[in-house]
Structure 1
Amino acid sequence: MSQRLHDLYENEGQSAWLDNLRRDYLTSGKLIDIRDGGVRGLTSNPSIFQKAISGSSDYDELFAEIAADDGPIVDDYWSLVIRDIHGACDVFSKVYDHSDGVDGYVSVEVAPDLAHDSAGTEAAARGLHERINRRNLMVKIPGTEAGLTPIEQMIAEGRSINVTLIFSLPRYERVIEAYMAGLERLVEDPDADLAQVASVASFFISRVDVEVDKRLEAIGTEEALALRGKAAVAQGKLAYQLFAEKFSGERWEALAARGARVQRPLWASTGAKNPDYPDTLYVDELVGPHTVNTLPDATLDAFVDHGTVARRVDADVADAEAVWAKLPEVGVDMDDVAAQLEREGVDSFAQAFDELIETLEAKATELRS
């Protein structure tokens, strides 16, 4: 096991998950090595599958087999994805067992064109849970306005959910409310085992700095430029304060008494996109208990090599508050930033999904001819 990943979990209470999945990771045994190196779970999204399937020949043989039935290509896509998710769930079931269900989860996202469709999201999330049928599965539901109702409903049904694409503190607060309201509905069933329900709230980090830095540079004042590279970590630290506040007190304690687990903050998009910033910036600064950081391969390798294992997520909170107060003063509308990033996130996943379906359709046409 990587000593840093071991210390991160054992000493600081943070779980490192991998933000990637490829067929050759399963067939070569690499994913087992990654797990045994200290990674405690895995996340995927439509962009990850688009790169994995379009960027290699690893899926060709299986695709040729399943595409022979001349059915809808989108069904063939889900057959490919679910095969990988099954394999990853099997690899991480060991972590799930050893952690008593704290970690070992594998996440798969509902189709991105459902991001603004509550009823469609609910049906798709339920369908994925039932079709994949793994106890360590988390279905990802976007934390859009339309996603809040299905999030609550899935929790009320006892299903584990990864809430993704969170970009603002007000939306995060509503995600927490959806989780707790779902648990309060579930607890009405005297036979319900709340300990079997897990959830993470995926707060996207680096994309915030990308957008805010662009706006700060457009403003161009000395005050504005001094705030570059500070917004994302500041928002993450304030999100952790909100987490600590909401998962305490009488309301939460009543649920915890029935075995409920906290909905852990998950730091997503933690690869530093600005080469001028340290490559482990969004890992080092957000280390703390009851959190998850899902890392792309390069960021995971960088952290294992030279990351800093020290509790920072609730350090210098006053500085984070000062940065947050200063941003609107210099002219950055953080509500507008969040809205734009949500649109871009949804559109990015939808575009990746559409491009992959087009690639698979072309492959199917070639195979059938």
Structure 2
Amino acid sequence: MTTTPTQQLSDAGLSIWLDDLSRQRLSSGSLQKLIDQKNVVGVTTNPSIFQAAITSSTDYDDAITAQAAAGASVEETIFELTTTDVADACDLFAPIAAVTEGVDGRVSIEVDPRLAWDTEGTIAEAKNLHAKVNKDNVLIKIPATREGLPAISAVLAAGISVNVTLIFSLARYRAVIDAFQSGMKRAMENGHDLSKIHSVASFFVSRVDTEIDQRLDAIGTDEAKALKGKAGLANARIAYHVYEELFSTERWAVLAAAGARPQRPLWASTGVKDPAYPDTLYVTELVAAGVVNTMPEKTLDATFDHGIVTGDTIAGTYEEASVVLSSLRNLGITYNEVVDQLESEGLNKFVASWNDLLSDVESALTAARNAA
């Protein structure tokens, strides 16, 4: 019996989440169609996605006009617009959340990116977002900055499910898992039902290749060129090895016995940036049971159309992946420098998108007030 590649991914234990959301997707039924036809079982958002959604359509005009009439600030207006979309998406995915006991059917919303270096501000914003959306299947996204790590623990300790985002380095991923397990221990001590608290760790993939490939091109040797397009997969595969290691400890066993579910690895930034590479590279080469792959629609469509799914493509790759990273180091490419740069660039991009959104919505509010 023939099945689609996205069904084959689901059968292999991989959850497909769409990396996009807009009011138009909800009202037109296009998101429901992706659920029905392409095995989408969750959604992630980020500041860039909301900036594009709100500023490139008229779908939010009436809501902005209503906010202007109510005297809302620009921050209050954006908070209202984004949480409304996420709450509506949570309702759409509620049946999936029910069937999977909350493992899937998840919709993520990120804290204001300007708070990425503010622990207490992140905690407060995460609690505000969670209370406003008020849906069991929402995930609050917190960047994996050094300041974000204690916020992750505190938010989990309050019984709130978390999507940890912008993870690039293996060392930071270990710190994220530590923050997750610390938070779950505190949640248990606070009397929360651990089985109701969910988390994913969003490990970014394609941006690693984009940066390292530039450095390899600058080196220009045959040895350097042979390593192009390999760093992103190698980094992610070793991250999965870290996941296996740290969720096989006695520390985790105690939490699991109390009902805790593991923090699932989520592959983010899975759209291919270099047209020389297969457009399904960061999907079909990162298949394992229990992981999430959040895809832009272009990548989802490519996978559905011609993805070749061969089962688990992570098991047995760790030695080869380690050789790739060692070879990069031998060429003078400094891993920590690369991942630190990528984290900084990722945060700055989200802050820039947020500032653009603030500016555009402020202009729309002013126009609405002047027209009233």
TM-score band, normalised by shorter chain: over 0.9
- Alignment correspondent of 2:197: 197
Asked whether the equivalents of residues 240 and 314 of structure 1 are also in contact (C-alpha less than 8 Å), the reply is no
Runs of 4+ aligned structure 1 residues displaced above 4 Å come to none
Which ranges in structure 2 are unaligned for 5 or more consecutive residues? Answer: none
- Alignment correspondent of 1:153: 154
Q: Does 1:349 align with 2:334?
A: no
- Alignment correspondent of 2:122: 121
Percent of paired sites with the same residue: 47
Which ranges in structure 1 are unaligned for 5 or more consecutive residues? Answer: none
Asked whether the equivalents of residues 200 and 264 of structure 1 are also in contact (C-alpha less than 8 Å), the reply is yes
Distance 2:187 2:112 in 1: 26
**Letter of the structure 1 residue corresponding to residue 4 of structure 2:** Q
Asked whether the equivalents of residues 219 and 331 of structure 1 are also in contact (C-alpha less than 8 Å), the reply is no
- Alignment correspondent of 1:100: 101
Q: SS state of the match for residue 320, structure 2?
A: helix
Q: CA deviation at 1:192?
A: 2.5
Asked whether the equivalents of residues 162 and 201 of structure 1 are also in contact (C-alpha less than 8 Å), the reply is yes
Q: SS state of the match for residue 245, structure 1?
A: helix
Distance 2:122 2:192 in 1: 24
Distance 1:46 1:2, change over 3 A: farther
Q: CA deviation at 1:74?
A: 1.2
**Letter of the structure 2 residue corresponding to residue 363 of structure 1:** A
Q: CA deviation at 1:317?
A: 2.0
TM alignment of 1:152-301, pairs within 5 A: 152-189=153-190, 191-301=191-301
- Alignment correspondent of 1:311: 312
Distance 2:127 2:26 in 1: 26
Q: SS state of the match for residue 108, structure 1?
A: strand
1:10-52 deviation digits (Å, cap 9, x = unpaired): 2x11100000001111111221111222101000000000111
**Letter of the structure 2 residue corresponding to residue 79 of structure 1:** E
How many corresponding residue pairs?
Answer: 367
Asked whether the equivalents of residues 272 and 278 of structure 1 are also in contact (C-alpha less than 8 Å), the reply is yes
Q: CA deviation at 1:133?
A: 0.9
1:312-354 deviation digits (Å, cap 9, x = unpaired): 0224222111001111110111100111001100000000010
Distance 1:2 1:197 in 2: 33
- Alignment correspondent of 2:57: 56
Q: RMSD of aligned C-alpha atoms?
A: 1.3
Distance 1:175 1:77 in 2: 29
Q: SS state of the match for residue 187, structure 1?
A: helix
TM alignment of 1:137-148, pairs within 5 A: 137-148=138-149
Q: SS state of the match for residue 145, structure 1?
A: coil
Q: CA deviation at 1:158?
A: 1.3
**Letter of the structure 2 residue corresponding to residue 347 of structure 1:** N
Distance 2:3 2:105 in 1: 17
**Letter of the structure 2 residue corresponding to residue 198 of structure 1:** H
1:235-286 deviation digits (Å, cap 9, x = unpaired): 0000000000100132111111111101000000000000111000000110
1:48-68 deviation digits (Å, cap 9, x = unpaired): 001111111111122111222
TM-score by length of 1: 0.97
Q: CA deviation at 1:193?
A: 1.1
1:185-207 deviation digits (Å, cap 9, x = unpaired): 22224x43110010000001000
- Alignment correspondent of 1:83: 84
Asked whether the equivalents of residues 4 and 304 of structure 1 are also in contact (C-alpha less than 8 Å), the reply is yes
